[in-house]
Amino acid sequence: MPLPKQNIALVDLTKKVSSTDLKAVADALQIQVSRDFASIWGQDATLQVVDNSAAVPKGTWPIWIVDEIDVEGVKGYHWTDERGQPFAKVEYREGWSLTASHELLEMLVNPYVNRTMRVKGLDSSGQEVDFLVEVSDPVEDDDYGYRINGVLVSNFYYPAFFDLIKVENRKYDHLGWLTEPRKLLNGGYISWKDAAGQWYQAFMVEGQLIIKKLGDTMPLTAREKRTLWTLGAIGLGITTVLIFIISKISNNGNRLR
């Protein structure tokens, strides 16, 4: 049975990306989704390059390439517009193709940013939490990406990432960097909500797991910030964008679940 396909438009609003480079990235993303991703997550896509925002066909989810992101400190994010249609924004900078890949894959799996997985948390309490299903966050660092026809694309985790028990020879991410479930690679992070409705994030920094409660009066230390930026992670911008998402959901009368 054919997998469902979502139409995706790659739109350069900066006018800084050559048509050759734009097509090369679109072609690489098409190969990644159809060859590597669709059979794992059950969602395929058809990529096309669109010249401007007005030319995006109805029902097509755009990935806007922009000069500057409107959420401070992040390279990209995906969300829904006022009509409820998913979209992504990617800041034009070195390595933007990896961010475009990251947001594309996450948008296909969790287009309305409301998909969670309830399993035991990362601590030893045994309590179940609702992890936000964002397939590239835990493995997002550039060092764990890969190239398709020379274009850098993002790694992503498999559904087995949420398993409770390690199984030998089971893949937890596409490239096989993760050796057990619910772990983070350096520079990666994960977000979850506990039974009380409080959101948390965990960052992996030089092999150390740092857990922060959103809204906590204790922000990341200066050293932690420096380390996160050095690793190429998004640092506090990750918290900023998740708070942005939570506030948008609250304003729209929705619930993450």
* 172-to-32, 144, 151, 185 alpha-carbon distances in Å: 17, 13, 23, 12
The end-to-end CA distance of the chain, in Å, is: 29
In angstroms, the CA 136 to CA 140 distance is 5
The number of C-alpha atoms within 13 Å of 191 and in the hemisphere containing its C-beta is 24
Please report the pLDDT score of residue 123 as a whole number: 83
Which has the closest alpha carbon to 28: 146, 135, 181, 180?
146
pTM flag (> 0.85): yes
Q: What is the chain's pLDDT, residue by residue, as a tens digit (257 residues)?
A: 789 999 999 999 999 999 999 999 999 999 999 999 999 999 999 999 999 999 999 999 999 999 999 887 789 999 999 999 999 999 999 999 999 999 999 999 999 999 999 999 998 888 999 999 999 999 999 999 999 999 999 999 999 999 999 999 999 999 999 999 999 999 999 999 999 989 999 999 988 999 998 855 445 555 554 444 444 434 445 666 666 666 655 555 443 32
Q: Check residue 148 and give its pLDDT.
A: 98
Residue partners of 97: CB distance under 8 A and separation at least 6: 25, 28, 29, 151, 152, 153
Q: Which residues contact 239 (CB under 8 A, 6 or more apart)?
A: 201, 212, 214
Position 214 scores a pLDDT of 84
Amino acid at position 13, single letter? L
In the prediction, which pLDDT does 117 show? Answer: 97
Give the per-residue pLDDT at 255: 35
Q: Could you tell me the two tokens for 30?
A: 């098409």
On the 0-12 / 13-18 / 19+ scale of CB atoms within 10 A, 175 is middle
Q: Which residues of 67-219 form beta strands (DSSP E)?
A: 76-80, 86-91, 116-120, 128-132, 146-148, 151-153, 189-193, 199-205, 208-213
DSSP state at residue 156: -
Q: Can you tell me the distance from the alpha carbon of 186 to that of 138, in angstroms, rounded to the nearest whole number?
A: 8
What is the C-alpha to C-alpha distance for residues 49 and 26, in angstroms, rounded to an integer? 7
Q: Where are the domains of the chain?
A: 5-251
Tell me, what's the pLDDT at 244? Answer: 64
